Amino acid sequence: MDLERLTAADVCPICGGMGWVLDSADGRKLAHPCICRASEAARARLSAAGIPERYRDCTLDNFSDNNASLTRAKTLAREFVDAYPAVDAGLLLVGPSGRGKTHLACAILSEIVTTKGASGLYVDFSDLLMKITTSFRPDADFSKESVLTPYAEAELLVVDELGAAKPHAWVLDVLYSLLNTRYNRKRVTIATSNFEDEVAPGSGEREKLEDRIGYRLRSRLYEMCLLVSLKGSDFRKDVLGTKIRSRF
């Protein structure tokens, strides 16, 4: 039984799991940190980022871009990852459901956390609202600061499905102040949403982003993020749209 465990265990072949490599020079012992420490730290950061199980294997490479707008989104995502942390703004990925917004956001998050040594955090918008609401209850187990601090502090934050739930005005105020804190500290935020500034024909949505999250929060997000539209499979319309956007 023990043998089986040993062979299955993921032990570093260089240091045998010690994390240190011992050397000797002129009869003196020298200890160097093993290279596996960096990859272990990267794995720990990735698991702390809280990416949902079904999106953990999402990468930019396995993002399927079968139309011009998705190819453009993938290119922007690649440029964003390569430039990070030297980026001016976060990203606001919008478009109808099923276009891969969450895939793209999680792929960016996991690559940056793994390769750039940044701390990152994923949160579903509805979960975040619930956390805010419960943390403000008088009988809450945790203080509101302890609940919100990780989201304010994370170097990179992904807020998924923005507008999926419709928050109370006071919850919106808390959210606004959270994003504002991030903005002032130059922390980067990526958000995804099915809601756009105009209701897209055939999208099935009746409300605009502003109707869901209010004018103030919507404006702050537009200041903090570069808008990236992930559209449907209407190739001609998308190509035309891309040209129009890039020319002016």
> Which residues here bind Zn ion, judged by CB under 5 A?
12, 14-15, 34, 36
- Whichever of 14 and 240 has its CB closer to Zn ion, that residue is 14
Q: CB 36 → Zn ion: shortest distance, Å?
A: 3
Q: CB 38 → Zn ion: shortest distance, Å?
A: 10
Q: CB 16 → Zn ion: shortest distance, Å?
A: 7
- Whichever of 40 and 205 has its CB closer to Zn ion, that residue is 40
- Whichever of 20 and 136 has its CB closer to Zn ion, that residue is 20
CB count, 10 Å around CB of 89? Answer: 16
- Whichever of 34 and 51 has its CB closer to Zn ion, that residue is 34
- Whichever of 37 and 56 has its CB closer to Zn ion, that residue is 37
Q: CB 7 → Zn ion: shortest distance, Å?
A: 18
Q: CB 43 → Zn ion: shortest distance, Å?
A: 13
